[in-house]
Chains A and B, each alone.
Chain A
Amino acid sequence: MTCEVGFTLLTRNFGNEDAKKIETYEKLGGYQPLRKALRMKPEEIVAEVKASNLRGRGGAGFPTGLKWSFLPRDATEVYLVANADESEPGTCKDRELMYWDPHQFIEGFVISAYATGAAGHNYIYIRGEMMREYAVMQQAIAEAYARGYLGKNILGTTFECHITMHRGAGAYICGEETALLNSLEGLRGQPRLKPPFPAVKGLFGKPTIVNNVETLCNVKYIVDQGGSWFADLGVGRSGGTRIVCVSGHVQKPGVYELPMNITFRQLIDDICGGVWPTGASVKAVIPGGSSMPPLDESELDVPCEFDSLMTDERIKPCEFGAGKVFDMGGGRVLRSMAGSGGIVVMNDRTDLVAACSRIMDFYKHESCGQCTPCREGTGWLAKVCKRVAIGDGLPGDIELLGSIAHGIAGNSICALGEAAAWPMMGFLTKFRADFVRKVADAQQKVADAEARVAGKQGAA
């Protein structure tokens, strides 16, 4: 049965400054699941992770056990890399997970390394700006080495696992797993063409698993309590709890660990104390980081769960022009996605065109410049969206925005192109009237100016 509000796994130690010390962590039962894991066969752990319905918490929601099973069976050298480059706007959970409970992360990491056969050197790629969390992680890693949870012969076994923290230096694109691998190799952080996928050819050309921080933390509990127990906490094909980061116009923004089946309306009203300021109502909600198409007020009864956001028919399919439904391939429509858990609430007083413009500016800034559809497309979207936002929109701009977004989607090396194109289409589909009004006002301004000029000329 799905867990209830109030049940927590990963966020239990949030707010407890003491819990980041290894002594406290051990007293709370920490590193016992690692002992258990090392008594299991790696393939038994992979089977439990598959049974758990754990899905990647970085954004794509891909089944973790399935990802692990893509490693070649005869692989002799495998790397595990944790993606701690959290930077999707609206997302603030991995930073908190590392700050409050670094050993939970390390324990999940070592268990996962053992399960995937990633013996030897492994890496945590941490965002450059997270200097406080880097210091906390370095301290925790040193403690784990001192206690024999990292290094050679872990807990008296033959298993060897080293973790090296690799700091980024300010590039959102390095959250994309192949850009991250390039950055780890000491290159510019530009994504690689896939295939080959990292599980086949990744870091230093070797089979590599890249998992998000929250994903790896969960593995500890799957080993401890079993895959089916974990699956039962969730709903459908999504096991476990869901950490959401709620920001924007709510009374109590925060990082909350909740049941998978909680709806956006319950989340806003019951957990976050309603819309901010008092008296305002919801206009739009970004459901999973700024790269996901927003929801409107009529779509808030959908749960924050991976499959629901993709398939629930209460969510309108995105269009790239009036009545032109976007085809993701094979006739699949784009509704929205649960992404990284970054939920941004916008009230009825929000200038949504300005909000959309800020999001487009971000993707323009972060495009790595490698491929044309993304480099030129994100810049073009940002330019046109900004002129509409500031009241200089031209006739045809709305159609132009839809057509640029359509031109990017599916045509870039990595998903950063979609990360700009999808929300653009989402805003245009659900809040088209806001864009239409902005352009109409701009055209009225032009018409008024022309009339004044004509009047002056007439007078002269």
Chain B
Amino acid sequence: MSLDFSADAKQKIEALCERYPSRQPVVMAALHLGLKEFGALTDDVLRLIAHTLDLPYPHVYGVATFYVMYKREPSGTNTLRVCTNISCMLRGGYEVLEAFERKLGIKRGQSTEDFHLVEEECIAACANAPAIVCGTKYFLDVKPGDVDDIVATLRANPHPESEVV
């Protein structure tokens, strides 16, 4: 196997395994770590995780494909999760999402080099709708006119989701 986790990731995985009665529960954290280290959960990465945790590959594949945050393909550095659920919709969430599509020249679900644009379900920031989360950074009470500033802010200071694992 050509791929391997960094020493730091291996240590994290082993430390986590100590906190559960078996290695299987650590698959969730290992997938997050896999995304951080390799940028996408390709078949090879899933095999590496299966090998690391002594799990069957189909098990890891099944978990990886159930949860939407486990990206199987490379995407832009900043994942912009723009909420359009009911509270955000009522305050202009779709207008914000469309403003990002125009600004970045992509559709929801697509990536540029530095942005991945996601139409997100409720992110629990309803009192500040429309809301966006990008890694550990929230943008609240967003208006379509704020899109230029948000893009510039994140280009200068990226917030990839892998900063937290």
Contacts and interface: CB of A to CB of B under 8 A. Distances in A.
Are A and B subunits of one complex?
A: yes
Interface of A: 86-92, 94-95, 121, 127-132, 134-135, 162, 164, 166-172, 183-189, 204, 245-249, 253-255, 286, 290, 342, 344, 346, 350, 355, 358-359, 362, 365-366, 368
Contact of B126 (A121, A134, A253): A253
B62 A188 contact: yes
B86 A170 contact: no
Interface in B95-128: 120-128
Contacts of A355: 86, 89-90
Nearest to B31: A169
B24 A131 contact: no
B68 A135 contact: no
B29 A167 contact: yes
Contacts of A86: 124
Contact of B136 (A131, A187, A342): A131
B129 interface: yes
Given A92-B127, A253-B127, A344 B135 contact: no
A169 B129 contact: no
A89 B85 contact: yes
Interface string B21-49: 11011111101100000000000000000
Interface residues of B, number: 47
Given A121-B20, A169-B31, A344-B126, A87 B90 contact: no
A365 B67 CA distance: 12
Given A128-B67, A134-B164, A254 B27 contact: no
A164 B19 CA distance: 7
A166 B38 CA distance: 21
Contacts of A344: 86-87, 90, 126
Contact of B90 (A127, A169, A204, A248): A248
Given A129-B69, A167-B29, A169-B69, A95 B63 contact: no
B28 A167 contact: yes
A247 B133 CA distance: 17
B122 A89 contact: yes
Contacts of A204: 21-22
A395 B121 CA distance: 31
B91 A248 contact: yes
Contact of B28 (A89, A183, A248, A255): A183
B106 to A, nearest CB: 20
A342 to B, nearest CB: 7
Contact of A131 (B21, B31, B90, B161): B161
A129 B81 contact: yes
A362 B121 contact: yes
Given A188-B62, A188-B63, A164 B16 contact: yes
26 contacts: A87-B124, A89-B85, A90-B122, A94-B124, A95-B124, A95-B125, A128-B67, A128-B69, A134-B164, A135-B164, A164-B16, A164-B19, A166-B28, A167-B29, A168-B67, A170-B70, A171-B67, A185-B25, A248-B91, A253-B129, A290-B85, A342-B126, A358-B84, A358-B85, A362-B85, A362-B86
A92 B126 contact: yes
Contact of B128 (A90, A134, A253): A253
A35 B112 CA distance: 53
B121 A172 contact: yes
B24 A346 contact: no
B87 A247 contact: yes
Contacts of B22: 204
Nearest to A169: B67
Interface in B144-163: 161, 163
A127 B126 CA distance: 16
Given A95-B124, A169-B69, A186-B63, 13 more contacts: A128-B32, A130-B124, A131-B133, A132-B133, A164-B20, A170-B67, A171-B68, A187-B24, A204-B22, A247-B87, A248-B90, A358-B86, A359-B86
Contacts of B51: none
A248 B121 contact: no
A247 B136 contact: no
B29 A87 contact: no
Contacts of A342: 87, 126
Contacts of B127: 92, 245-247, 253-255
Contacts of A254: 127
A286 B10 CA distance: 46
Given A89-B86, A246-B127, A286-B86, A132 B121 contact: no
A342 B123 CA distance: 13
A246 B25 CA distance: 36
B103 to A, nearest CB: 22
